[in-house]
Amino acid sequence: MQVLYFAWMRERIGVPKEEVETSAETVAELVEELKSREPRYAAAFEDMAAVRVAVDQELVELTAPLEGVREVAFFPPMTGG
Amino acid sequence: MSISVRAEDFDVGAEMAAMTKGRVDIGALVSFTGLVRDMAAGSEMVLEHYPGMTEKALASIETAAQDRWELQDCRIIHRYGPLDAGAQIVLVLTASPHRQAAFEAAAFIMDFLKSRAPFWKKEAGSGWVDAREADEDALDRWS
């Protein structure tokens, strides 16, 4: 699936998006998998209270399932307007 | 009902005129404009967004407002990219037969836009702007 990062998450991880092969069943499992890969992911996902997630462009909770999902995005709380 | 997410500026008067053109059934037209503030003159801010999700999120907020109030028309324009201090960021227009629906719907749209539409502000110098708890709390009054 495509994994996208925005704002400071993009800066900490160093790429705006990447293709990720995973067997994670939920967003939370995907986060744990990414964190174990490299320190830059561990740093970006250090404080999950400051991370929001969208699955196929809809805001979801960390417990959301990933089956059939094409796009997951991680970003900080939104500051538009 | 319409959404525009773009880098270009907008003309509030022209947008309002376009909404009422050729109609005599609209009794109230509310306009809200958000501006870049609290920055030194000449300094710059950059607004990042999530193309695709941004439009979906704004359309869903607009639909929620339409379901709740008697709206005859509604328009949201939100800019992204580099913006100078004092620049216009966002425009919300709501049209209704009576003022209360137009006022409330515009406030509702802005409250949800603030913390549900995927935009992030970065100020030159001070970095990414933190989300305000007050913005999240503002949603409670609509529940």
Cα torsion angle, B37, A73, B54, B81, sign: positive
The complex's ipTM? 0.94
CA dist., res. B74 & res. B55, Å (int):
14
- Closest by Cβ to A57, choosing from B48, B56, B78: B56
Which residues of A touch chain B, with CB atoms under 8 Å apart? 4, 6-8, 54, 57-59, 73, 75-81
Check CB contact under 8 Å for A76 and B114: no
pLDDT value at position A23? 92
Beta bridge partners of B55: none
C-alpha distance from B22 to closest chain A C-alpha (Å):
30
Do B56 and A81 lie within an 8 Å CB cutoff? no
**Residues of chain B found within 8 Å of residue A58, distances taken between Cβ atoms:** 53, 56
- What pLDDT sits at residue B56? 97
Q: Cα(A72)–Cα(A15) distance, rounded to whole angstroms?
A: 14
Residue pair B36/B85 in contact (Cβ under 8 Å)? The answer is yes
Mean local confidence (pLDDT), A7-36: 97
Q: What is the model's pTM?
A: 0.94
Encoded amino acid at B99, one letter: R
pLDDT digits (tens, 9 = 90+) for B42-101: 678 999 999 999 999 999 999 999 999 999 999 999 999 999 989 999 999 999 999 999
Distance CA(A78)–CA(A80), nearest Å, equals 6
pLDDT tens for each residue of B22-49: 999 999 999 999 999 877 666 789 999 9
Written as six digits, the tokens of A6 are: 């925005």
Round to whole Å and give the CA distance between B63 and B77.
15
Amino acid B35: pLDDT:
95
Residue A31's pLDDT is what? Answer: 98
- Residue B139 has phi, psi (to 5 degrees) of -70, -25
Chain A CB contacts of B116 below 8 Å: 59, 78
Taking an 8 Å cut-off on Cβ atoms, the answer to whether A78 and B118 are in contact is yes
| Predicted pLDDT at B41 | 65
